[in-house]
Structure 1
Amino acid sequence: MSARPVSAWSHLLRRPVSAAGLGVVVLLVVLAFLGRRLAPYGPNAVDVTVALQPPSAAHWFGTDDLGRDVLSRVVLAARVSLEVSLISVGIALVVGVVLGLVAGYFGGWADAVVMRLVDVVFAFPIMLLAIAIVAVLGPGVTTATVAIGVVYVPVFARVTRASALALREEPYVKAAVGIGAGPLRIIRTHVLPNVSAPVIVQTSLSLAFAILSEAALSFLGLGVQPPQPSWGRMLFDGKGFTDAWWMSVFPGLAIFVTVLAFNLVGDGLRDVLDPRQRSAIESRSGR
């Protein structure tokens, strides 16, 4: 591991707010991998004799209308949210970075064609476009993941293009061109490593919005399908039971805390990976 990543992580961990957000993200990952061992009950263990019971020693988050343990479903839904967000953002990252590098480095007609396509996708509201894609392909986890990935491609393409446009004018890039280095080699060795900082920050922020988008699609019945637990679907199931507040509050809190945590990590990464931001922070702290 190079000195720069080590330094960036050390700066990130010194920020209490960012460190707290990172801790929540780590907890989410643990729940995703060990959820079935940690959950006190099965996600679909129906027991109508204890239906709609408030939080208690036996059921910390209460039970739903079918007597299922809300805590167990919240814990197990973390895996679904994490899988959907990681795969969808991964799709957007790969496609968006490739398009952004092509548009930013080569310019000309390549830039015009790529960015006009990106602008067409970007012109639609994100959720509306995601809903339209799922409506065409059919509801389900796979289609929701693809839809979220598609709608976030323009974000990564624009971020990458902006950085590539500036980098292609740098002296070391022009020197590489002068000695006969090919475009692919220049992009791989000089451009791509230097666009990684804004892309990493955007990835963290996009993970937060992907989780929110998955919850919204599941709430509308277009994402995760029952009986598989999902935070968004649990919100939908709880909206008809105003007296059983715990059915909506706890999955809602899970979404809120997770999205907030990813945003805090993204803000921290932006500060420590941007030299100007880091210099300002260090000057204010007296270093």
Structure 2
Amino acid sequence: MPGGDDGSLRRALAALWRDPPAVAGTGVLLLLVVVGVAGSWLAPAGINDVDVDRMLQPPSWEHPFGTDELGRDVLSRVLVAARVSLQVGLVSVGIALAVGVSVGLLAGYYRGWADSVLMRAMDVLFAFPVLLLAVAIVAVLGPGLLTAMVAIGVVYTPIFARVTRAGVLSVREQVFVRAAISIGASDLRIMRRHVLPNIAAPLIVQTSLSLAFAILSEAALSFLGLGVQPPAPAWGRMLYDGRGFVTDAWWLGFFPGAAIFLTVLAFNLVGDALRDVLDPRQLTVSEARRSTS
């Protein structure tokens, strides 16, 4: 089974490290993980500590992100809400990755009727707009964090199924796969040892990009009241609560919106860098440029 050696891995990591946007995006994501894990300890105040005497105060040393209409500290709520966004992104994309890869692997490897049935089912899901399908699923199952994760996972499953199937159709015709079939290796072993490792690169890129869109989808569902339910903080819900104070208290919408923007931008920067780094043609071109410079 051909695969990347240690030298290729080192070159890929070195190329990633030389990309300033990728380094910046990775730094933001690492900060997001730290905040998501330790947000409750980093928050300077309780997320639901109501103080009507301090309502709608602008950013200050005491409240760096200001206070909301109930006097709650906006910084604390933004920090704790990071855990929700990170949890939804990881779980929902994990669901989409597991189901989509399984479907695409079976469809691409066995082809025939299995390919037709499985991929037509994916085409049905793919025909719906992402947010509309997610709203429909949440409306049926009921609003909440768990249903939001399931809904987002379902709507992104067809993307992973298509990416996987395309890779499998190409790898299946390679000599090393035909050799494994000729010596009597089981289908499960061939898919696990020979096919999956050789289609991992596009799946890694798709995962990083899907995490960004999953966080956006969760924010949209929370904004519509179908995601995380009050009083638990969520960036999308905080945007909804601050929509009526745009002129009088700009900080209510600015800081959760900035958190969404930076998180999605970081995932996209890392995803674009991974796409370039994991593409052998791009890596060869970059090496050729360095050798002639």
Q: TM-score interval w.r.t. the shorter chain?
A: over 0.9
SS across alignment from 1:279: helix
Q: Which of the numbers 9, 13, 16 marks the counterpart of 1:9?
A: 13
Structure 2 residue aligned with 1:223: 227
Structure 2 residue aligned with 1:278: 283
Q: Which of the numbers 70, 87, 91 marks the counterpart of 2:91?
A: 87
Distance in 2, Cα, partners of 1:69 & 1:257: 21
The aligned amino acid for 1:65 is E
Moved more, 273-282 or 204-213: 273-282
Q: Which of the numbers 119, 140, 143 marks the counterpart of 1:139?
A: 143
Structure 1 residue aligned with 2:263: 258
RMSD: 1.3
Structure 2 residue aligned with 1:128: 132
Q: Which of the numbers 199, 203, 211 marks the counterpart of 1:199?
A: 203
Would you identify which runs of 4 or more consecutive aligned residues in structure 1 move more than 4 Å? Answer: none
Q: By how many angstroms is 1:53 displaced?
A: 0.6
Q: By how many angstroms is 1:27 displaced?
A: 0.3
Q: By how many angstroms is 1:2 displaced?
A: 6.3
Moved more, 1-10 or 120-129: 1-10
Distance in 1, Cα, partners of 2:204 & 2:99: 15
1:1-287 alignment, distance < 5 Å: 3=6, 4-242=8-246, 243-286=248-291
SS across alignment from 1:195: helix
Distance in 1, Cα, partners of 2:76 & 2:255: 11
Q: By how many angstroms is 1:278 displaced?
A: 1.2
Q: By how many angstroms is 1:115 displaced?
A: 0.6
Conserved? CA contact 2:100–2:157, under 8 Å: yes
TM-score of the two chains, using structure 1 as the length reference? 0.97
Structure 2: unaligned runs, 5 residues or longer: none
Conserved? CA contact 2:222–2:229, under 8 Å: yes
SS across alignment from 1:208: helix
Q: By how many angstroms is 1:136 displaced?
A: 0.2
Q: By how many angstroms is 1:9 displaced?
A: 2.6
Structure 1: unaligned runs, 5 residues or longer: none
The aligned amino acid for 2:66 is G
- Count residues in correspondence: 287
The aligned amino acid for 2:262 is V
Q: By how many angstroms is 1:11 displaced?
A: 2.1
Distance in 1, Cα, partners of 2:129 & 2:59: 38
TM-score of the two chains, using structure 2 as the length reference? 0.96
